[in-house]
Structures are given as C-alpha cells and as structure tokens.
Amino acid sequence: MRSRFDEQLSLLNRKMIQMGAECEELIAFVAKALLNGDVESAGKVKEQGREIDEMEREIEAICLKLLLQQQPVAKDLRVISAALKMITDMERIGDQAEDIAEIIPFLLGRTGAEFADFKPMAEATCKMVTDSMDAYVRQDLDLAKAVIKHDDIVDDAFGRMKDMLIKMISENNADGEYAVDLLMIAKYFERIGDHAVNIAEWVEFSVTGVHKGV
C-alpha cells in the first residue's frame, strides 16, 4: 500500500514540476513579447494557457485520489494540501499572462520603454515565478523566503508606475488609452508577483507545517 502511495506522490511531484515549468515559460514568453512589441507571439499564448488549465484539473484529481483513498498523515498531508493551493495560483498566473497577451496588440508596437520601472518590474515578476517553483522543487526554505521578500520590489515599482500613468492620463488625452492599457498590464504583473508569493508561502507550509494565513 505504501509503495503505491509513494508512486502516486512521485507522480504528483512530477506533474507539479511540469505545471510550474509551463507557468515559468508562459510568463517569460509574454514578458518578452510585450517588451519587444511582438503581437504575433502574443497571439500564441492562449493555447499554452489551456494546457495549464488542463494540468490544474489533472493534478487536482491526483490530490483528491490521494486524500480519499490513501488517508495521508503529517508531512504527506501537508504536501498534498499545499499542492492543491499552489495549482490555483499557478492557474491564475496563466490566466493573467493571457490577459497581458490580449492587451499587447492594442499598444500598437509601444512597449512601455519610456518608463524606467516597467522592464525591471516585468523581469522581477518573472524571477519570482521561477524562484517560487525552484523553491518547491528543492524544498528550499531560504529561496521561498527570498521570493516573499522580493515582492516589495515589484510592489514599489508598480506604485511608481501607477503614479506616472495616472499623471499621463490626466495630462495627455492622446496617450490616455495607451496609459490605461499599460496600467492594466502593470497591475497584472503585480498580481502575478502576489501569486508567486502565495506559492512560496505554501512551500514553507509543506516543509514546516506553518502558514501565516492558517
């Protein structure tokens, strides 16, 4: 019985790593398309987003099977519970990457390059997603904590971007629509950072049994 349980846990881990890799690839792809003004690449995002949705359903089924059929305890239960929480955040990262991709064509080739914080904020968000998943794979508490701390950088950059874009909207009607679109993209990146923090916090829980929201 335990060997079967271990096999299913191993399968869960592989599927989580695969879904995490898909999220990392998708957000990096979208950020590159945005910063290069690449409308054609942005149009290819939705299919990959559907793959992430399917992975979420598959992992959820594995977790529920483990919970209902195997009655795990202690560490195993934490791992399964954390996985159920993490896939929700990963799926939302995919959704928000799709949302960014949908806006890119409306920017008409502009990339936000005139705002000093925009590219570093996008890159910092991508790093948070990558590091949160690396923390899961390695069960690395220090890396998980670094992701949580890194969120301040993204939040501060978003705050500065928001102030500049609101000023642009009020002062330059010609660029109002562009500024609103860019503000929405910046907000999506900020939310993706929040989801990466959630993943890191569930990594902490899976290792220590402690979650600040529980």
What domains sit in the chain, N to C, each tagged with a CATH number?
Answer: 2-208 (1.20.58.220)
Quote the pTM value. Answer: 0.92
The band of 189, judged by pLDDT with boundaries at 50, 70 and 90, is very high
Q: What is the DSSP letter of 211?
A: -
- Distance between CA atoms of residues 116 and 98, nearest Å: 24
Q: Are 182 and 107 in contact (CB under 8 A)?
A: yes
Among 21, 12, 30, CA closest to 134: 21
> What are 5-18's pLDDT values in tens digits?
888 889 999 999 99
Among 112, 79, 92, 25, CA closest to 202: 79
- Distance between CA atoms of residues 121 and 201, nearest Å: 21
Cβ burial of 83 (10 Å; 0-12, 13-18, 19+) is: buried
Cβ burial of 38 (10 Å; 0-12, 13-18, 19+) is: middle
> What are 118-162's pLDDT values in tens digits?
999 999 999 999 999 999 989 999 999 999 999 999 999 999 999
Q: Is the pLDDT of residue 71 over 80?
A: no
